[in-house]
Structure 1
Amino acid sequence: MRYLLLIPTDAAHWATLTQAQRDQRLTEHVDFTRSIIASGEHVDSAVLSVPADSRTVRVRDGRTEIIEGPRSTDEEQLGGYYLVDCADDERAAEVASQVPDARFTSVEIRRLKTITGLMT
C-alpha cells in the first residue's frame, strides 16, 4: 500500500540553524532515502520550494484567481514529502519514525487512494 509522508517545515526554525546543521540534516535525508531505496519502499520524494515562491489557484463562479504566495499564512508549511510503498500501516509508521525531521517536528502519514480505484 502506498503512503504519503508529509513533512512540515518552520521557516523561522530553519533560519536559526547554522550551515553545518543544515548540511547535517541534508546528509541525514540522503542516508534515509538510500535506506528506503534499498528496502524497495521508496517511490518518490522531494523538497518543496519555500512557500513565498508558491502560487495559489482558485476558481469561483467560473473565474480563475491566481494569488502569489501560499494558501495559508501558518508558520508551519509543507516542506517536503516521501511517497513510500509499505506492507501495512505499522510499517509506514516505522518508516515515518526514521525520517530525520521526526526528531524536530512531525511526519504526517496518509494512505493514498487512487482516483481510478475510487471509480470502481
Structure 2
Amino acid sequence: MVLPSPGTATNPLVQRLAQLHMVSSVLAGSLVVLTLLTYGTSVYLSRQLNQTNQRLSRLQRNEQQLTKANEVLKNHLARQVGGEEMGFQPPQPDSVIFLKPTPQATALSPAVPAAAISRFALPKVDVPLGY
C-alpha cells in the first residue's frame, strides 16, 4: 500500500478512517488505564479490609480474655468474702447510719462563673442519705 505524501489530497474515506483509528486508540488507552486503576484500587481496598478484619478479630479475642479474667477475679473475690475467716457480715438494718447532707459550699475560685457551678452541682435531696 502506498501512502500519499503530505500535502497531496487524500480520499475523504481514508481521512475518516484515520480519525476513527486515532479516536479508538485513545479510547482503548483510556480503558486500559481505567482498568488498571480499578484493579489497583480493588487490591488496595481488599488489603485494607483484610488488615482491619484481622485487627477486629484480635480486639475481640482480647475483649473475651479480659471479660474472662474479670469474671475469674470477681469469682475469686466473692469466694474470699464468702468465707468465714474474713469476718465479713451482711449489713443489718438496725446498724445503718443516716446523715443529713451538708449544704454545698459555694466558696470556690472567683474565676469560675456561677452558671458553671450550678450546671455541675449535685441535685438537692430532702431525704437523709443512708451509709
Band of TM-score, shorter chain:
under 0.3
* Structure index of larger Rg: 2
More helix by share: 2
More strand by share: 1
The two structures have a TM-score, normalised by structure 1, of 0.23
The two structures have a TM-score, normalised by structure 2, of 0.21
